[in-house]
Amino acid sequence: MSAQAVKRVVIAGGGTAGWIAAAALVKQLGPLLDITLVESDEIGTVGVGESTIPTSRRFHQLLGLDEPTFMRETQSSLKLGISFENWTREGDRYFHSFGQTGRQASWMADFHHFWLEAQAQDFGGSLGEYSLETQAAEAGRVEAGADARTQYAYHLDATLYARFLRRLSEPAGVRRVEGKIARVEQAPETGFLTALVLESGERIEGDLFLDCTGFRALLIEQTLETGFEDWGQWISTDSAFAVQTEATAPPVPYTRAIAHQAGWRWKIPLQHRVGNGLVFCSEFLSPDAARQQLLDAVEGKPLTEPRLIRYRTGQRRKAWNGNCIALGLSSGFIEPLESTSIHLIKTAVTRLIQTFPFAGIGGAQVERFNAQFRHEMEGVRDFIILHYHLNARDGPFWERCRTMAIPDSLAARIALFQESAQAYQASDDLFRVDSWVQVLLGQGVAPRGHHQLARMMQAGELDQALSGIRASVAHAAREMPSHADALARYCPAPRQ
């Protein structure tokens, strides 16, 4: 596509996506690149991506971040999973935890097959009793640091997170330019981007441009007209209200996702406040009614006015087009039900670092990047659809979700689990076997069969083995400090 060497990287937009990209590039490739980030303090960011998954810990290790410092400065709390409430029907609840459920006893069958055999013989308890993360979360207990026995992620303040990454990036060599982008210049012969022209008249030239302009998609769509693939036929929520409130109780170490008549509501406890939001389909719930419903549901005094965010679920037809790569909201959006937004930014940046086009941008490289982007986005899409599709709730919104045609890729996964309790994680899939199992069972799927390996065990042996795992998990959970105590010891944040 272009043999021009790539040295000048221009990041359009700050916020979470822009400063994640800047921090990672300067940390890993700083001496080889000239990195400029253009943002305007006058342009707000969506800034509600406050819940993460455990991959963020590994990414922070790549950046060499000190975890207690990061958590203090972003007012972070710890997250062991997500509590799904009212999703199958009113009053139902299940927990999607991080970490491993039970123990891997055999290469032939995952742990849940042993548990299903126990269920068939009327013993074994609930699946959650074999998850340390679930038991610790239910007890409000957690560990932090390198020696923690649990897999955990973070609840964080997205605005403070971007500021924290900026403070690391600028001294390391990232040049920040304040200003609004007035126009984008392109090479007439190739269509490649050549410069951002600011309202001040300043020109920022580059070889590779990263579009972190959010839903505006100023470079990838407004300039390059890449195209958007709409997934509204499967995920029909299109709006959300977000509001911050005072904390009324110590923070729990999990996110709450509470279904309502036309979508769901989130509750994310940080050290200094609580993040709340209500996701809804505007066809079935008006914005005024949604706003009031959220305010009626929150428990603490609002610290901000509820902010309406409108969106389309889907993805760009290409995340990498020419010499422009879209990151974050500019590349597409899948609603935040499983806290994947920040993860998708970080994996895209990681792939770019691994295959950086120093000698020039090649077609095969771009195609591979876009194929990986599509596979990852479609995998997350299917996992989100799963929550909506498998429901027994009343009401027109949920009936539509239950009766709609779903992607073939998801239909095949559901059928496989229904038939034989088989779940899988391919090498480049995000969600683990344990994640698929917890959500499929939580959403009411009862497999017709399972692997029979456990029937080869001696009488009483399976019961004894499972009882031992449950006791070990319960003991470990009891040993952990409360979430509030863990935060106070590990990363106490200053009062705001």
> If residue 366 lies in a helix (H) or strand (E), which one and from where to where?
helix 363-389
Amino acid at 386: L
| Residue (of 166, 181, 238, 177) closest to 211 by Cα position | 181
The number of beta carbons lying within 10 Å of the beta carbon of residue 176 is 17
Residue given tokens 């998990």 in the structure block: 473
Rounded to the nearest angstrom, the gap between the alpha carbon of residue 326 and the centroid of all alpha carbons in its chain is 17
State the Cα–Cα distance between residues 81 and 475, nearest whole angstrom. Answer: 20
Count how many residues are written for the chain: 496
Task: List the catalytic residue out of 27, 79, 267, 318.
Answer: 79
- The C-alpha atoms of residue 255 and residue 271 are separated, in whole angstroms, by 13
Cα Dmax for the chain:
80
79 is known as an active-site residue: yes
What's the CA gap between 76 and 78, in Å, rounded? 7
Nearest to 470 by CA among 132, 150, 152, 133: 132
**DSSP conformation letters of 116-149:** HHHHHTT-S--GGGGBHHHHHHHTTB---STT-S
Give the whole-angstrom CA distance, residue 386 versus residue 414: 9
Q: Answer whether 301's CB lies under 8 Å from 245's CB.
A: yes
Q: Where are the alpha helices (DSSP H) in 238-340?
A: 287-297
Burial degree of 495 (CB within 10 A; 0-12, 13-18, 19+)? exposed
Please list the active-site residues: 79
